[in-house]
Each structure stands twice: as C-alpha cells, then as structure tokens.
Amino acid sequence: ITVETDEGITGIGSTSAPAQVIAAFIEGNRGLRELLIGEDPTDTNRLWLKMAEGWQAQRGRGGEGGVGINAMGAVDIALWDIAGKARGLPIYKLLGGAVQDQIMVYASTSRADRRYSYQDPWIAKTTDLMVQESKEYVEQGFKAIKWGWGNYFNNDGQEALEAIREAIGPDIRLMLDFGCPAYHEAGWNVKDAIRIAEICGKYNLFFLEEALHPYDVEGFKELTRNSPVKIATGESLTTVGDCKRFIDDRAIDIIQPDIQQMGMTQFLRVARLSEEAGMPCIPHGPWSAVLVAGHLNALATFSNGIIIEYPGFASFEEGSNQRVRTQIMNETIIETPPIVRDGYLQLPEEPGLGLGNYVHEVIEEMEQT
C-alpha cells in the first residue's frame, strides 16, 4: 500500500493478507483512510492508537488480531517510511541509531518440490536436490539455511537431513520449520513435538520452528523445557499481548514476530520486550523487500536481533513463475532493493525504509499478467 502526503512524500507498506480484504479495511466506511486524513503522518505512536480504537469500533467485542491488524500494520509501516523520508533519515536513525552495522540473513527454502506445487505441494525434493541447493546457498555466502520441512521425519527425511548437514558442514546454521498447523495430523501433541526436537538434536539444528499450534503457550513451554534444540514461534501472532505471553512465560527460546502481520510500532515493542528478557528476536518472513527492510531497520537498533529471514532463490527453477514473482517482490518492485553482502544485510543510507518508492510500471505489469 502507499500513503501519500500533501507535501509530496509517499510512504510504502505491505502485508501478506488478501488484498481485497485489506482494501476494505482501508477504504471502507469508518476505515483507516477516514481516520488518518488530515493527521501528521510522523505521529506514529498516536496514530497506531487511533487506528486501534477505530478497529475496535468496527469489530465490536471480537478477539484481537486478524486481518484488521494486518491492514493497520501495512499503513503503520508506510507512516514510518514517511517519518524517515520527512527527516531525511533511515528509520533506524529515527530510533536512536544502529547497534549493529549489518545483520546476518538465512536462506529460507522448502523441501516441497515447487515444480509440482500446484498439483501437490508436498511432493518432496530428492535428497540430492536438497543437498545441491544447500551447497549453492553456502557458495553464495549464506551462513544459515532454513528448510520448510513439515511433518517429514520418516527414514528418508532423516537421511536427507543428515546428508544436508554433512554437505554444509558444522559451522553453517541449519534450521527447520515444522509449519504448524498445516502439517499436523489428528491428535498431534507435545510428546510428538518433543520426539521431532530430539531428531533435530542429532543434526545440531539451530532452532525448530512452529512445532505446535501457534497459540499453545503451555504446550510450547513443555516442549522448550524438554527440547535439545532451541524452539521458535511467533509468525501467526499479531499483537504485542500475544507475543508477551510467550516471552514472559519463557515458553520459547526465540520469538519470531512478522512486521507485515503487526506493523512497525508493535514490532518494536516486541523486540524490546524480548531484548529485556534476553531472548533472541529472529523475525519471520522473506516475502517482500518491504518486509526485509522493515526487519532490518528495526532490528539494527537491538542487540538481540541476530538474524533475518531472506528468500532462497535457489529453490526456484530459473525462469519459473515462482522465481520471477519472488524477484519482482524483492528486487524490481522498489527503487533501491536491500543489499546482501557475504550473507549479511547492509544498513541503508537512504531515508525511511531505504527502498525509495514502488516502481509503478512493475506493479501495473503484475496486475495485467
């Protein structure tokens, strides 16, 4: 989304929720547009509260979160982009300056063979293909790789995991995303998750992601106590309160907020809470340059922001629709893409998110095709 000001500054934001639904929250009666017209876009804290009050009026006494927060988050990111551009500063400098000059990224990929993703998303890549892809990431300079594994811990799966670890060596961080609840079978419980964590421990995994239902604080607490590897979750949580329960209860080892789910204002609060708790903040999501740049600007100001998710392009066939779309969303849709050098994201010098503006010709071409 874009937010335009009467001084000619345009801010950009994004979310992963359905576009038609987000448009309804922004453009509809008593929507976010109506709440924000005439306001100072640099008052990000006050405007978040104003949007939240408007959202509460719309949803009545329903639960927190959902696509309403996604819509607010997209607008909120754009407001922070405007605030930086208005002052001629990157967002991390608005926040008091960076404590890290660069932040490691990990290549995010999937064991699903994307060539068949529309017929059956769970046709697994062969072990040889996964080993080859992992080696490519190491050659590209990545120091960490995450595989979207799912409930794929049969003998073949474990052999593949062992082969990947052997191929990349002991010094490359290797992570697995179980992908709850998409891959869960009926009756899945904490004991099952502990069994998977023990398998992961054999191969020196850095963390296991989303092994239980995303709101199961008590289950995650038990899993974390009994796991030989670090346990991570948070991508489905859309409010500070949701994340705070996991942090305060030490239910996990790593919190994974997603700025496209909750916006910059809330993301900063979650990062601060986790820093104070001594818990690493490793955000979720490699889907767009806006997402990556938002995480970079925010985490550069915290000591516990140790690594950021980034798209693993080697998982796509050259020229495939998936690869072209990923390149568009991360490279060509904005004027100045984030820079990765030797496995590390570099801090931008450009103001706001550091991305410039959307390239509208690319957007129009995407809409036409």
CA atoms within 13 A on the CB side of 2: 14
Strands (E), the chain: 2-4, 10-12, 102-110, 144-148, 173-177, 207-209, 230-233, 254-255, 307-311, 340-341, 344-346
**Segment 36-42 long-range contacts (CB within 8 Å, at least 24 positions apart):** 36/3, 36/75, 41/3, 41/5, 41/9, 41/11, 41/79, 41/82, 41/83, 41/86, 42/79, 42/82, 42/83, 42/86, 42/87
If one counts every other C-beta atom within 10 angstroms of the C-beta of residue 364, the result is 10
Distance in angstroms between the alpha carbons of the first and the last residue of the chain: 19
Report the relative pairing of strands 344-346 and 230-233 from DSSP bridges.
unpaired
Which residue of the set 184, 284, 295, 360 is catalytic? Answer: 284
Active site residue 284: yes
What three-state secondary structure class fits 147?
strand
Task: Indicate which residues carry an active-site annotation.
Answer: 284
